[in-house]
Homo-oligomer: A and B are copies of this chain.
Amino acid sequence: MSSMILWGLDMPLEPAEITPTFPSEGEVYVRLRAAALNKRDYWITKGKYPGLSFPLVPGSDGAGVVDGREVIINPGLDWGSDPDYFSPDFRILGMPDHGTFSDSVKVPAINLYDKPSHLSWVEAAALPVCGVTAYRAMFTRGKAKAGETMLITGIGGGVASMALLFGLAIGMDVWVTSSLDHKIDMAVQQGASGGANYTRTTWDQELANKLNGKFDLIIDGAGGPDFARILPMMSPRGRMVMYGGTRGNISELSPQRIFWKQLDILGTTMGSPDDFSNMIDFVNTHKIKPIVSHVFPLEEVNKALAVIAEGEQYGKVCLDIPA
- Name A residues whose Cβ lies closer than 8 Å to a Cβ of B: 84-85, 141, 222-224, 227, 236-237, 242-245, 248-269
> Whole-angstrom distance between the alpha carbons of A227 and B257 in the complex?
15
Interchain CB contact (< 8 A) of A251 among B253, B261, B262, B269: B253
Interchain CB contact (< 8 A) of A242 among B85, B250, B259: B259
Nearest residue (CB) in B for A262 is B267
> Whole-angstrom distance between the alpha carbons of A313 and B91 in the complex?
49
Q: How many copies does the complex hold?
A: 2
> Whole-angstrom distance between the alpha carbons of A224 and B243 in the complex?
24
Measured between C-beta atoms, what is the minimum distance from A30 to chain B in Å?
28
The reply to whether B255 and A252 contact each other, CB–CB distance below 8 Å, is no
Residues in B neighbouring A250, C-beta threshold 8 A: 250-255
With A224-B255, A244-B259, A264-B267 already in contact, 4 other A-B pairs whose C-beta atoms are closer than 8 Å: A245-B255, A250-B251, A250-B253, A259-B267
The reply to whether A255 and B237 contact each other, CB–CB distance below 8 Å, is no
Nearest residue (CB) in B for A247 is B255
Known: A253-B253, A254-B249. A243 touches B269 (CB 8 A): no
Nearest residue (CB) in B for A220 is B255
Interchain CB contact (< 8 A) of A255 among B244, B255, B263, B264: B244
Interface centre among A253, A259, A265, A266 (most CB of B within 10 A): A259
Interchain CB contact (< 8 A) of A267 among B242, B245, B251, B260: B260
The reply to whether A264 and B266 contact each other, CB–CB distance below 8 Å, is yes
Residues in B neighbouring A267, C-beta threshold 8 A: 257-264
Residues in B neighbouring A249, C-beta threshold 8 A: 251-255
Residues in B neighbouring A263, C-beta threshold 8 A: 266-267
Residues in B neighbouring A260, C-beta threshold 8 A: 267, 269
Residues in B neighbouring A254, C-beta threshold 8 A: 223, 245, 249-250
> Whole-angstrom distance between the alpha carbons of A141 and B263 in the complex?
11
